[in-house]
Amino acid sequence: MGTVQTSSPDLKLVVDRSNQTVGLRFNTLPLPPSARIVHAYMQFQSDRPSAEVTSLTIQGEASDNASQFANARRNISSRPRTVAAVPWSPPAWTTLGAKGPDQQTPDIAPVIQEIVDRMNWVAGNSLAIIISGSGKRVAESFEGSRTGAPLLHVEYLTDNNPPVVAPATFTVAENSPNGTVVGTVAASDADPGQALKLSIAIGNNSGAFAIDAATGAITVRDAGRLDFETSPRYTLVVQATDNGPGRLSGLATVAINLTNVDEAPVVTPASFRLAKNKPNGTIVGRVIVRHADAGQTVSFSITGGNTAGAFAINSTTGEISVADPRQLDPAGTPQYALTVTATDDGPSRLAGSAAAMIDVFDPSAAAPVTFRVVGDVPYTPGDLPKLA
């Protein structure tokens, strides 16, 4: 073990004429002493292609606050090391300037955790990583390229962490009844003993859905709001709030896709009046139908009440017309109660029906006179009573 070089433009991991011990010091880390390290790695950038077999060991300096490296013999190799050690056999670095998975170490969370767990570790301290082994990979150093310098990536949790909500995508049929379970949103909190309360924060203005605050189960709340043709997709933002200090919360997007269901046409009941002397082809009125399925057409027919074929209906427009004027006799049949059916051309050829009432009247008949008696009127012989 020889002299330490602190200003080299590159990092030779680890052969430089002979095997050497390499140290990397990361200054003023904001890791609190209570941090639980979830994941950590170092990212290097290739400074020179190299493909020889390389076997490295990554440890940390067993120190509360790593001191700066000095140009002195054995300044790195003589430092105490962590018990935790992570082996690394990096693949060949074939491209100059490469900075990807091949230049990334395995998870070194155990090494970082051992340092942070030391008695006198506080946020703002510095730590050193010590690499030893055999073989050669050449990486950029801080002195050689600040943008290509080694990066220490650490993911950690503290004693009071916000909940984590998992994004999700669910599917539900547009004709699902109230209470149908759409799916369950998963939420977690790394802090033990805390309960979570889930709610829909955004995207449920119509009130189509509800969420169980304890389980995260999303259900259909207002089935009448579910219409594939109007809104085929709902995007909700689900929030989970804990009961710890500060009542921290986490958010995630939940997408709900509606599946199209072939729906029967809905025919609107109608009432019409028709004079008995109208000729053949006279339009009586038009039946209205509502059909939500996009791309489908409906066909109208009279399926009941059309005594002696008095009427016909346009299969495309729904217009009812006189087919046989001889049947229009208010004395015999003053009212026709037709059943009008609309059938779609979907896969199931669904149909809906409603009544169309047609009152036939004689326009030549005197209209009845109606009046209202306001009160008693005094009568004098020779005078007519005055009626209001």
Q: 229 with 273, same domain?
A: no
Q: 21 with 116, same domain?
A: yes
- Which residues are CB-contacts of 356 (< 8 A; sequence separation ≥ 6)? 269, 270, 271, 272, 285, 287, 320, 337, 338, 339, 340
Picking from 237, 259, 281, the residue at the C-terminal end of a domain is 259
Reply yes or no on whether the pLDDT at 279 is more than 70: yes
Reply yes or no on whether the pLDDT at 344 is more than 50: yes
Region 229-242 average pLDDT: 95
Region 37-52 average pLDDT: 95
Nearest to 173 by CA among 255, 233, 261, 234: 261
Region 330-356 average pLDDT: 91
Q: 113 with 49, same domain?
A: yes
Reply yes or no on whether the pLDDT at 373 is more than 70: no
Q: Is residue 374 assigned to a domain?
A: no
Residue 1 confidence (pLDDT): 44
Q: 255 with 270, same domain?
A: no
The CATH number linked to 169 is 2.60.40.60
| pLDDT per position as a tens digit, 328-340 | 999 889 999 999 9
Q: Counting beta carbons within 10 angstroms of the beta carbon of residue 231, is it exposed (0 to 12), middle (13 to 18) or buried (19 or more)?
A: middle
What is the CA 155 to chain-centroid distance, rounded? 26
pLDDT bucket at 369, cuts 50 / 70 / 90: low
| More confidently predicted of 274 and 246 | 274
Report whether 345 contacts 296 (CB < 8 A). Answer: yes
User: Could you list the residue range(s) of the whole structural domain that residue 148 is in?
Assistant: 10-157
Q: Is residue 339 assigned to a domain?
A: yes
Q: 301 with 215, same domain?
A: no
d(CA 222, CA 177): 8
Residue 229 confidence (pLDDT): 82
Picking from 88, 122, 157, the residue at the C-terminal end of a domain is 157
| More confidently predicted of 245 and 333 | 333
| pLDDT per position as a tens digit, 81-123 | 999 999 999 999 999 999 999 999 999 999 999 999 999 999 9
Q: 27 with 150, same domain?
A: yes
Reply yes or no on whether the pLDDT at 17 is more than 80: no
Number of domains in the chain: 3
